Structure 1
Amino acid sequence: MVSEYDFWLLDLDGTLVDVEWSYTRGVFDRVGDRLGHEFSDREAEIIWNGLTGSRDYQLREWGIDPGAFWDAFHAEEDPLVRAEQTYLHDDAAFVADLDEPVGLVTHCQEFLCEPVLDELDIHDWFDAKLCCTEQTGWKPDPAPVEYVMNELGVGYNGHQGVLAGDGACDVGAAWNAGIDAIHVERIGHERRGRCVLGDYRVQSFDELEFPQ
Structure 2
Amino acid sequence: MKPLQASGLLFDLDGTLVDSAPDLATAVNHSLADLGHAALSETRVRQWIGDGARRLVARAIAGRRDIDAEPPETEAALARFFVHYHDCLCDRSQLYPGVRDGLDRLRALGRPMAVVTNKPAAFTGPLLEALGIAGYFGATVSGDTLGVKKPDPAPLIHAADQLGVAVGDCLYVGDSAADQGAAAAAGMPLVRVPYGYPGDDAIFADHPAAMTLTIDQLATGLTNAS
Superposition TM-score, scaled by structure 2 size: 0.76
CA apart distance, 1:169: 0.4
Determine the C-alpha separation between the residues in 2 that align with 1:38 and 1:7. 44
CA apart distance, 1:35: 2.8
One-letter amino acid matched to 2:135: D
User: Structure 2: which 5+ runs fail to align?
Assistant: none
Structure 1 residue runs of 4+, over 6 Å off? none
Listed one character per residue, the Cα deviations across residues 54-105 of structure 1 (whole Å, up to 9, x for unaligned) are 64774545862443332221122125x3224221112213123222211110
RMSD of aligned residue pairs (Cα, Å): 2.9
Q: Which moved more, 1:3-12 or 1:68-77?
A: 68-77
Determine the C-alpha separation between the residues in 2 that align with 1:134 and 1:57. 21
2:20 corresponds to 1:10:
no
1:47 match: 48
2:78 corresponds to 1:70:
yes
**Counterpart pick for 1:205 among 212, 215, 218:** 215
Q: Does the 8 Å contact 1:136/1:143 carry over to 2?
A: no
Determine the C-alpha separation between the residues in 2 that align with 1:27 and 1:179. 33
Q: Which moved more, 1:11-20 or 1:128-137?
A: 128-137
2:33 match: 33
Q: Which moved more, 1:11-20 or 1:81-90?
A: 81-90
CA apart distance, 1:188: 7.1
Q: Does the 8 Å contact 2:113/2:138 carry over to 1?
A: yes
One-letter amino acid matched to 2:139: A
Determine the C-alpha separation between the residues in 1 that align with 2:200 and 2:164. 35
Determine the C-alpha separation between the residues in 2 that align with 1:87 and 1:40. 21
Determine the C-alpha separation between the residues in 2 that align with 1:68 and 1:186. 32
CA apart distance, 1:167: 0.8
The number of residue pairs the alignment matches comes to: 205
CA apart distance, 1:48: 3.2
Aligned residue for 1:137, secondary structure, equals coil
One-letter amino acid matched to 2:45: A
The change in CA–CA distance for 1:138 and 1:56 in structure 2 (over 3 A counts) is farther
* 1:176-195 → structure 2 map (5 Å cutoff): 176-187=185-196, 194-195=202-203
2:123 corresponds to 1:122:
no
**Counterpart pick for 1:165 among 151, 174, 181:** 174
One-letter amino acid matched to 2:183: A
Q: Alignment identity in percent?
A: 23
Q: Does the 8 Å contact 1:130/1:144 carry over to 2?
A: yes
Superposition TM-score, scaled by structure 1 size: 0.81
